[in-house]
Every structure is written in C-alpha cells, then in structure tokens.
Chains A and B, each alone.
Chain A
Amino acid sequence: MPPTTSSAPLVALRGIGKAFPNGTQALAGLDLEVREGEFVALLGPSGCGKSTALRVVAGLSTPSAGTVAWPAAAMTAPNGRHIGFVFQEPTLMPWANVFCNVLLPLSLAGVPANEAYPQVVSVLDRVGLLDFSYAYPRELSGGMRMRASIARALVAEPQLLLMDEPFAALDEITRFKLNDDLLAMWQALRTTVVFVTHSVFESVYLASRVVVMAARPGRMFTEIAIDAPYPRDDNFRTSADYADYCRRVSQALAQAIVAGGVP
C-alpha cells in the first residue's frame, strides 16, 4: 500500500528557472510538487538540472525565477533542521569519527549532548554502523561511508530527505543493499524523499513516482507513477511489473533525451 498523502504538498516548485553567471540555463519553468510521505525520483540525462533542482529545494541555490513554497503548516521555510541532504560523495569530515560526523547537525543546532547522543546512537544503529562509531571515515568502505552520510542526514529527523545520486559511485551489490535499507528506513520513519538518479532501474525500484526531466533547458518532461506496493524486495525486482515499469520509464527517458538535443 502506498503511503498516505495529505492534500497540501510539502514543497511546491513553481516556474523555477536558474541561470548561471556563465549563461547556462540550468532550469526553466520547472514545476514540481512533492507531497508528504512520497518517494520521488528525479531521473534525467546528465546536464538536465536535476541536481540544481535539488539544491534549489534545499535552499543552497537561489532560483533566478519562480518560487519555492512550503504549504504544509509545519514547514514555513526550508529550515535546516527539517531538511536532510545526502550528497553525491559521502562528504564526511575526515578529521572527525563517525559519531561526531553524525552528531554535526544536532550540535550545530545547539541540541544539548544528553538529548543528542541517544539520537545519534539510535540512527547509527538503524544504518548498521553502531560498531563503527569511533572509526574515522577513511577506515570505512565506500558503502559504510554512504551509510554514515545517510545517518547524518536522518539524525535531525528531517521531514524531507534530499538525495543527490548517493549510490552512483557504489558497486551494484552494495547499491542493492542500500536501496533496500533506504526503503525500510523511509517506511519506518515516514519521511519524504526526493532522490536524484540517472538509473532507470534504481528509480523504478525505489520511487512511488518517477519524474523524468529533459535538458537544455532543464525542465520536467513527464512523470510516471509507480503503483507497485511497498515493501518492495527482490520479488519486485524480478517481477514482470518491474520490467514493464522500467520499459515505460526508459522510453520516456529516451524521448526526454531527444527533446533535450544531443547530450
């Protein structure tokens, strides 16, 4: 059963345009609504502005046109404590151990230690890194670093989790495992996820809705609802439904690439 969605979207992008000083039009007229509890995948060829769109939602990039609205009452502004961001690279501080890295969002917000520590322990336990609390990032494998990065994004219990191709650099086995774990966490925490990827298979496996984007300028091309029920597992990955969705999303992506010109 897909998660319940409230009527008001959590975040609504309207007519978002983003031009960089060098003249590149990264986004133009992007409309996107994300409802609470959704798992949205942004899929598109490289250069279609999907990462830029994510940065606009996070408030890390100011759009040159359009508005970002947070209609849901709990979130009047993109406040740091309500957004978690997972970058393409783990982006852990190499001088601090896993525990301190995950603690960062809470300590920056001034949460007292006796309140913050149990939260860190619980989120580390959730991502399976509790035994590695005192390891330094370089002592971890690529997959474990990404787990630590996800733990850091989740520790402040964000209402919206933004992920920018987080598993692109990982091997397939690790990626499948992290996909499953991510879905489990998303369901357990009832958070909302916007997940940027360039993998058709990953987007269909994870998302309740796949937004296909086209490039030059970056815009929404089409969207496809993935109505397969959660929890999803290897049975879904090998099902005819999954293959069917992948075919439809692939076709949409192929059209989007044609629409965006030669990559």
Chain B
Amino acid sequence: MSERTSFSEHALRIALPILLLGLGLAIWEAVVRIGNVPPFVLPAPSLILQTLIADWPLLSHSLLVTLTTTFEGFLLAAAGGIALAIVFNLSRLVEFSLYPYAVILQVTPIIAIAPLLLVYLPQHVAVLVCAWIVAFFPVLANTTLGLNSVDRNHADLFRLYRASRAQMLWRLKLPSATPYILGGLRIAGGLSLIGAVVAEIAAGSAGAGSGLAYRIAESGYRLNIPRMFAALLLLSVAGIVIFYLLALINYLALRRWHESALGAER
C-alpha cells in the first residue's frame, strides 16, 4: 500500500515539472507567434531549438571549454579544500594563520576579483583560478567541520588501541567526515560552474577557445538573442547534470551507513 503511494508520488514528482515545462513552452510559443514578436526581442522555443542545432559545432565547442574549466576548477577545489582542512586539523597554528584569508577569499565577490586576475594571469589560468576560488571554500569549511565532528567515544577507542596520528586521520577522521565532504563537494560542483562563467564574462574579449559564457556575452553584443538562449540552455543543463552526478556519488558512497542516504523504511 505504502509502496504504491510512494510510486505514484515519484511519478508525480517527475511528471508535474515536465507538464509545467510543456505548458510554459506552449504559451511562450503561442505568444511569440500570435503577437509576431521579433526574434531579437523574444525568440520562440522552436527557434531556440533550431539555433541550438544549427550552431551546435560552435556551441558544443564552447560547452566543452566551459565544462573543462569547471571540472578542473572543481578538482582543484576538492583537492585543495580537503588537503587544507587536513592541514588545519593537524596544526592549530596553521589554521589560525590561514583561516581568515580563506574567509576573505570567500566573502569578496568573485566578479570583483576576476578582472584583476585577468590582468596578471593568462586568460585560461585566470578563469580556472576564479572557478577554484568560488568552489574551494565550501569544501574547506565542510571538511573542517567533518574532521572536528568525530564521535568522542570513537576517538577514545582509537586512543585505547594506541592508534597513530596517521591511523587516526585515515581510519577515523576522514571516514567520519565523508558525509560532510560530499556535502561540500555538492555545493562546490555548482559553484565551480558559476566561477567559470563569471570569469569568462569578465574576460569578455577573446578569440577561439572561448566558453559558453563568452558566447552569451558575444551574442548579446550582436543581438543574436536565439543563440543567447541556446547557450543559456546548455549552461543550465550542464549545471543540472553536475548536480545530479554529485548527488549520485553521494548516494553511492553513503547508502549503506549514513542517515542522509537511507530510505524511510527501517
């Protein structure tokens, strides 16, 4: 009985947003056609789709550029955030010295830092650094929280059995922190895409090898509104895919033991 309820609930969760999307697109299409709205004011969904197909060689190349930056930024943020959190956990002195600067990096809007970075760094590196700066802090903060949230009885147990510092870290602290780390990575995934986009827009002028955000800016200058929408669509899809990929990793890693990944059934 309850299984059927949950099944129909699942179906609704998927069907309703799709239904709403279809309805919205239909109204949009109708408004544009009936009102004869010119494409440079508001392109119809069908035109956006046509543009997406027609400009695919150009747009797919840009998508690849942006995704590469996002992925590299994400990896650097994950590695850097986790590594720095471990260093903080091992040494209070380092934590006290560096933490304020990590916060400053986080609270300063990336859009304000990006132009400066572009002055000093080659464009590709500057974009990467932006993606990294934005995505790095949630990983650092969450991992730090996780490493400090070790159950006190577990810590006693490891002390009782004379665990070395390395054993403490690898066998106790990091596994305990895994749910926190994965939570940080889920935030970082979306943020690294945002960081990459912000930096690309700030970079503005660029030749080949430019990402989706650059395409949006460029299409804006040229009043190629359908292409703007098409590029925006690709960015959204990329964001959604990143989000669900990380959610999947989260689920696979935690499903056997952590509250967050377990079903309601007990």
Contacts and interface: CB of A to CB of B under 8 A. Distances in A.
Contact of B160 (A60, A93, A95, A136): A60
Interface in B198-214: none
A80 B162 contact: yes
Interface in A122-179: 136-138, 156
Given A85-B157, A87-B157, A91-B153, A108 B162 contact: yes
B154 A93 contact: yes
B159 A60 contact: yes
Contacts of B156: 55, 60, 85, 87
A58 interface: yes
Interface string A71-86: 0000000011101010
A63 interface: no
A91 B160 CA distance: 13
B157 A91 contact: yes
B160 A79 contact: no
Nearest to A85: B160
Interface in A20-37: none
Given A83-B160, A108-B161, A108-B171, A91 B257 contact: no
A59 B160 contact: yes
A136 B254 CA distance: 12
B162 A136 contact: no
A223 interface: no
Contacts of A137: 257
Question: What's the interface size class on A, roughly?
Answer: 20 to 34
A89 interface: yes
B256 interface: yes
A55 to B, nearest CB: 8
A95 B161 contact: no
B228 to A, nearest CB: 46
B248 interface: no
B256 A136 contact: yes
Contact of B161 (A87, A104, A136): A104
Interface of A is mostly: loop
Interface string B141-169: 00000000001011011111111000100
Interface string A208-220: 0000000000000
A59 B158 CA distance: 12
Interface residues of B, number: 21
B178 interface: yes
Contacts of B167: 108
A192 B171 CA distance: 29
Nearest to B168: A108
A101 B225 CA distance: 60
A58 B161 contact: no
B33 interface: no
A74 B158 CA distance: 23
Contacts of A60: 156, 159-160
B74 to A, nearest CB: 24
Given A91-B151, A94-B258, A58 B160 contact: yes
A17 interface: no
Contacts of A95: 175-176, 178, 256-258
Contacts of A105: 161
B179 to A, nearest CB: 9
A15 B70 CA distance: 64
A54 B177 CA distance: 29
A138 B171 CA distance: 19
Contacts of B258: 94-95
A156 B256 CA distance: 27
Contacts of B262: 138
A136 B257 contact: yes
A262 interface: no
Nearest to B157: A91
A188 interface: no
Interface of A: 55, 58-60, 79-81, 83, 85, 87, 89, 91, 93-96, 104-105, 108-109, 136-138, 156
- Which 4 pairs across A and B sit closest by C-beta, in order of nearness? A80-B162, A91-B153, A80-B161, A94-B257
15 contacts: A58-B160, A60-B159, A80-B161, A80-B162, A83-B160, A85-B156, A85-B157, A95-B176, A95-B258, A104-B157, A105-B161, A108-B158, A109-B161, A137-B257, A138-B257
